[in-house]
Every structure is written in C-alpha cells, then in structure tokens.
Amino acid sequence: MNMKRIRGRHHRPNGGGNGGSSRHHNGQIPLNRNHVFDSNGPDMRVRGTAQQLFEKYLQLGRDASSSGDRIMAEAYFQHADHYFRILNAMTQAAQQNQQERQERQERQMRQRPSAASHEDGSADMGVDGDEGAVAEDTREVAMD
C-alpha cells in the first residue's frame, strides 16, 4: 500500500482541529476588519480584506461593463455586493460591541464607591485642598 504523506501543520483528520467541528461556528465569518478572505471569483482567485475585495470586484465590474461584457459585469457586481454586505455586518457588530463596552464601563463606574468620600461623606482635606497638609504644618511648628 502506497500512501501519500500529507505535510503541513494544519492537516487534521475529520476536517478540523476541534473533533471535526469547523473553525467558524454556525457558518459565520469572523467580524474582524483585518480578516483576509480567499475569494474564488468568476474567473480568478482574489485574496484580501472585505474592503479590498469589495473595491476590487467593483472595479472589475466597471471594467467589464465598459468593455460590453454584461454577464461578467453582473457576476463581479454580485461578488462586490457580497463583500459590501460583509462590511456592513462588520460595522454593525463593531458599533454594537462599542455600545456594550461603554454601557459596561458606565455600570462599573456607578457601582464603584467614590475614592475621595468616606463613610460620613466628607473628605479629610487640608487648607489648600491637600490631604494631610494641616498636619504637616503643625508638626513643623511643634518642632520649634
């Protein structure tokens, strides 16, 4: 039996490294602006971020349209639309994450007691607003 040895670090039996499960759960794409996509376009393979692929397919569609190839232009525009939708999903997810982070920070600020106030609600401040400033002045006078 002559079996070919598979090289590389990412080969896993059963299609993945997590017991056969896929890397992206539920078929969702990662919502990271720096994620690089491998796109199999209508006649070529293109690699880049969602923004780069959107711009590339949009330009290819314009070029095909100007040369009179309506079929290829439509195919490129459909690919551009796909990556445009991905960009919108990324933007919405980023806004939602930012809003959740801001709300979480506001909740934490409300739950934290103020550092300057004590049990009676007043702070031990000196004449100049410095804590302990009065005590230092009295020590110097007492030393004379």
**Of 85, 59, 82, nearest to 72 (Cα)?**
59
Q: Which amino acid is at 72?
A: M
For residue 4, tell me if it sits in a domain. Answer: no
**102-121 residue pLDDT tens:** 999 999 998 886 655 555 55
Q: How many Å apart are CA 116 and CA 109, to the nearest integer? A: 14
Number of separate domains in the chain: 1
For residue 105, tell me if it sits in a domain. Answer: yes
**Of 68, 66, 74, 65, nearest to 41 (Cα)?**
74
For residue 96, tell me if it sits in a domain. Answer: yes
**33-74 residue pLDDT tens:** 888 888 888 888 889 999 999 999 999 999 999 999 999 999
Per-residue confidence (pLDDT) for residue 53, from 0 to 100: 94
Residue 93's domain comprises 51-109
For residue 79, tell me if it sits in a domain. Answer: yes
For residue 123, tell me if it sits in a domain. Answer: no
**Of 66, 43, 39, nearest to 54 (Cα)?**
39
pTM over 0.85? The answer is: no
For residue 91, tell me if it sits in a domain. Answer: yes
